[in-house]
Amino acid sequence: MSWDEYDEASLSSSARSSEDIEGASNKDSSEDNSGCKDLVPDNKDTKNKTEDDCSKLYITALGEEFFYLLIFDGSNLTLIKRVKKKISSQVFAKDLYIISDKKLYGFHDVVSSPDSLDEVLKPERKRKKVNGSLLNDESHEEYTYRPFRKDRRIIFKREEGKSDIANNWEGFFITRGLVHKIVYEDGGYTFVYNSKKYSYEKEIGRIAHNNEMLVYYLKGKDSKLYFQEVHEKIYSIPKITTMSCEGQWTVVGTADGYIYLFNKCVLSGRKKVYNVPITGVGFMNESVYFSSFDGFVGVHRMSGRYNILHMTLPIAIFIFAILIGLILKPVEFPFTSK
């Protein structure tokens, strides 16, 4: 739900337990003085999940005109909700964060209350300051915000607790307890991570926070993949179109039909899997799953044995060459050594 639909004074009722998008913990949610609960990890819902819940897969899809929420039960794909709204960016893991018209919205447990998505269809209402003047969208620019839950709504506040957030979001990423804004300013796409500002002329395709590492890529024909940890590591990969992080694995798809698999920040495999652009990738059970621009969905196995073979083959060839050299080496007999 967009922050500008709610005045802080109206946020007075208590909220129920919340779940962080990053994972599970035994910490309790902390409630601020406005009645909103800070979104910190909570594993209560995970413990109460039934076997039937775990067998269902909830999917969000971005179209040119519509946003979709679907459920896959293993055999059937069913539409739960369709909203006629262009969504430019999203993060979905029970809680849903989306950007539409450069505004950030948050929905808590959208699967249980899909009609809450209708909030993005409401016309924008300008919030007013205490003195009655309209809020300037360019004021109070910051790069990190803390999400709070109020019933099914998620609002975002600056560090000092104010909700006057400019509607100029080009993208975002989530670390534990914080939402980081990507904004276009001074001719570059800019964000802040670990108190350091990063700015790039090229558009940032996607950012993922994975195992205390920041992984992202820059769009374009000469695209680049970045791993930010203690040290920065950069890979030049042409025409990156999509990226996914699963545990220690990062998968990248390109417009040329290639997939790249990284173990942490080390290239583990590269394979051309299709002849049209890759639009989506994922990694599970030593296999890369991908979708393409023409609607094809495929899988390519990238097993540990596959990677070991590629690493050991040059070593085996080298050892074999040494053995051949030893076998063919001239042998000196005692009667010829004089």
The CATH number linked to 299 is: 2.130.10.10
End-to-end alpha-carbon separation of the chain, Å? 96
The helix or strand, by DSSP H or E, that contains position 103, with its residue range, turns out to be: strand 103-107
**Are 181 and 311 in a shared domain?**
no
Output phi, psi for 174, to 5 deg. Answer: -120, 125
Q: Does the reported pTM lie above 0.75? A: no
Examine the fold and report which residue of 148, 180, 201 is the final residue of a domain before the chain moves on.
201
Sequence-distant (≥ 6) Cβ neighbours of residue 258 within 8 angstroms:
270, 271, 272, 273, 278
Q: Are strands 153-157 and 103-107 parallel, antiparallel or unpaired?
A: antiparallel
pLDDT range class, residue 123, cuts 50, 70, 90: confident
**Are 103 and 207 in a shared domain?**
no
**pLDDT tens, position by position, 182-225:** 999 999 999 999 889 999 999 999 999 988 899 999 999 999 99
**Are 173 and 222 in a shared domain?**
no
Question: Are the C-beta atoms of residues 275 and 287 closer than 8 Å to each other?
Answer: no
Domain membership of residue 230 (yes or no) is yes
**Are 208 and 145 in a shared domain?**
no
Collapsing DSSP to helix, strand or coil, 216 comes out as strand
In this model, does residue 77 exceed pLDDT 90? no
In this model, does residue 304 exceed pLDDT 70? no
Q: Which range marks the domain in which residue 277 is found?
A: 202-328
**Are 40 and 104 in a shared domain?**
yes
pLDDT range class, residue 228, cuts 50, 70, 90: very high
In this model, does residue 17 exceed pLDDT 50? no
* Sign of the dihedral defined by the CA atoms of residues 178, 183, 189, 195, in that order: negative
**Looking at residue 22, what is its pLDDT?**
36
**pLDDT tens, position by position, 23-46:** 333 333 444 544 455 554 444 444
Collapsing DSSP to helix, strand or coil, 301 comes out as strand
**Are 193 and 237 in a shared domain?**
no
**Are 99 and 241 in a shared domain?**
no
Question: Which of the two residues, 125 and 6, has the higher pLDDT score?
Answer: 125
How many domains, the chain?
Answer: 2
**Are 147 and 35 in a shared domain?**
yes
Q: Provide DSSP, 132-197.
A: SPBPPTTSS--SEEEEEEETTEEEEE-TTS-----S--SEEEEETTEEEEEEEETTEEEEEETTEE
**Are 190 and 256 in a shared domain?**
no
Length of the chain: 338
Domain membership of residue 276 (yes or no) is yes
